[in-house]
């Protein structure tokens, strides 16, 4: 098991310069406050997750906002990391870790690891109906997240595992699935997708899994104060 105490990781997803939340990775559900305002709200948390949705969708980037956020907080950053060059750009912008999703399953991943080092990489494993999905969840791979964890164990510093079946739907998550993932590696795991209640978060932290929080915070169903207190227990 990882020796680091598990944490709650608030998420800032950026699209067109705005903080947004999507349902099922596609449909915009809400627009949040200004990015800097969100960062101030999240000031009590040790690490923030930033996803550049425009870069992920190949329609632009939000480098200025990312650089501003990384200058003020410890941030893991992802979205559109398809090459060693993009990974290096994010590190140079101040990313503490770089989240690599689809590209982890391409030949480019070896170049990314060589460029920034495995210690800077978090591999994102998005799962729907039991299989890993890539390319904006449009392509289903013939592998499970547990199988992928074994494949990448020597090439990253941890995993961001999203339970896509419930992502953004505020219907709870699959704690049994996350427990199985926890049993597959000693590297840090961050859980995402459907985390809705304090009980969900508490259960994940008890498994030594970080909890990435998005929709539940933006809709007000989870209190930032309650989450901060939970981490201190």
Active site residues: 13, 126
Mapped to the 3 state alphabet, what secondary structure does the chain carry?
CCCCCCCEEEEEEEECCEEEEEECCCEEEEECCCHHHHHHHCCCCCCEEEEEHHHHCCCCCCHHHHHHHHCCCCEEEECCCCCHHHHHHHHHCCCCEEEECHHHHCCHHHHHHHHHCHHHEEEEEEEECCEEEECCCCEECCCCHHHHHHHHCCCCCEEEEEEHHHCCCCCCCCHHHHHHHHCCCCCCEEEECCCCCHHHHHHHHHCCCEEEECHHHHCCCCCHHHHHHHHHC
Could you tell me which residues come within 8 angstroms of residue 224 by beta carbon, excluding any fewer than 6 positions away? 10, 41, 42, 44, 217
Give the Cα separation of 8 and 45 in Å (integer): 7
Angle at 66 between CA 217 and CA 152, to 5 degrees: 80
């Amino acid at each position: 098991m990882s020796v680091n105490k598990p944490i709650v990781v608030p998420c800032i997803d950026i699209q067109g310069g705005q903080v947004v939340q999507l349902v099922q990775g596609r449909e915009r559900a809400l627009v949040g406050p200004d990015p800097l305002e969100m960062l101030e709200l999240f000031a009590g948390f040790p690490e923030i997750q930033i996803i550049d949705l425009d870069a992920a969708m190949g329609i632009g980037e939000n480098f200025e906002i990312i650089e501003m956020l990384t200058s003020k907080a410890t941030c893991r950053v992802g979205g559109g990391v398809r090459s060693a060059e993009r990974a290096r750009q994010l590190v140079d912008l101040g990313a503490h870790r770089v989240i690599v999703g689809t590209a982890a399953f391409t030949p480019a991943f070896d170049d990314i690891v060589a460029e920034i080092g495995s210690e800077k990489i978090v591999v994102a494993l998005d799962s729907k109906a039991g299989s890993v999905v890539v390319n904006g969840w449009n392509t289903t791979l013939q592998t499970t997240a547990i199988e992928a964890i074994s494949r990448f164990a020597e090439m990253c510093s941890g995993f961001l595992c999203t339970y896509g079946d419930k992502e953004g739907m505020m219907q709870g998550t699959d704690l049994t699935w996350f427990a199985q993932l926890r049993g597959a590696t000693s590297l840090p795991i961050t859980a995402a997708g459907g985390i809705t209640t304090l009980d969900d978060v508490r259960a994940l932290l008890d498994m030594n899994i970080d909890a990435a929080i998005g929709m539940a915070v933006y809709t007000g169903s989870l209190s930032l104060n309650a989450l901060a207190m939970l981490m201190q227990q």
